[in-house]
A and B are shown apart, each in its own frame.
Chain A
């Protein structure tokens, strides 16, 4: 099981309690679709993803960005049981959505960058390490049911 230091727990709780889910989720997902365009392959029915402006303004992208972030919030509330928390979502992503799990890291890298831009100087190396560790464990839990 993953061990969390007091600092890591407090940092993750702090980041997510102060986060504006309505904007950070959409910003992270749309950034991912722009920076790593091959991820668009999973959003064929989202309408216009033709260029960066279209992606950033796409309401379906925005909605899904929020969905992802609310799902991350579940992980924040269950940091000691991420495996079970994401077991169902893992099956969904592998069996139904068929997402290459390497893509999860691309999205979390974009989320890290969005959080960094919002937090500014408060996003120290230690805070970054804690966030990246949390996201890496979530990604690992999401990849567990793939076979």
Chain B
């Protein structure tokens, strides 16, 4: 995948400034949606009692994920270096198949389109898609 251009980074920072206040809601909806639309992702959460969209575990995880995305925005100039610890976590402990990063990214984009229809223009969409793909790549860095 291509690296982020200056234009991409500006677009990501611009949309993040608009949506970051709602990032917990975005994360919660994205994770809940992922579990509904892609039932195979539920296999990673067999230790949760409640996988419904309103469960506290889903919200907590959505908040965690978006905190990671916020961190990535602040480290947008060096995602590989900045997300090293998270990559090790995903590689050695969580061992999430990287195909699922694409799935969750798609769900995040859908939620952004729902919550910010005017601001989520095609230009912002392509920048966010590239950014989340770059984050996914950085997260998979330590896998093998």
Contacts and interface: CB of A to CB of B under 8 A. Distances in A.
12 contacts: A31-B125, A35-B129, A56-B122, A113-B109, A116-B113, A117-B114, A125-B33, A125-B35, A125-B36, A126-B36, A128-B33, A128-B36
A129 B36 contact: yes
Nearest to B32: A125
Contacts of A118: 117
B125 A123 contact: no
Interface in B112-128: 113-114, 117, 120-123, 125-126
Interface of A is mostly: helix
A29 B88 CA distance: 39
Interface in A41-60: 52, 55-56
B55 to A, nearest CB: 13
B14 interface: no
Interface residues of B, number: 19
B122 A128 contact: no
Interface residues of A, number: 24
A116 B122 contact: no
A52 B127 CA distance: 12
B53 interface: yes
B61 interface: no
Nearest to A123: B114
Contacts of A31: 122, 125
A120 B114 contact: yes
Interface of A: 30-31, 34-35, 52, 55-56, 109, 112-114, 116-121, 123-126, 128-129, 132
A23 to B, nearest CB: 13
Contacts of B70: none
B117 to A, nearest CB: 4
Contacts of A129: 36-37
Nearest to A51: B123
B110 A113 contact: yes
B129 to A, nearest CB: 6
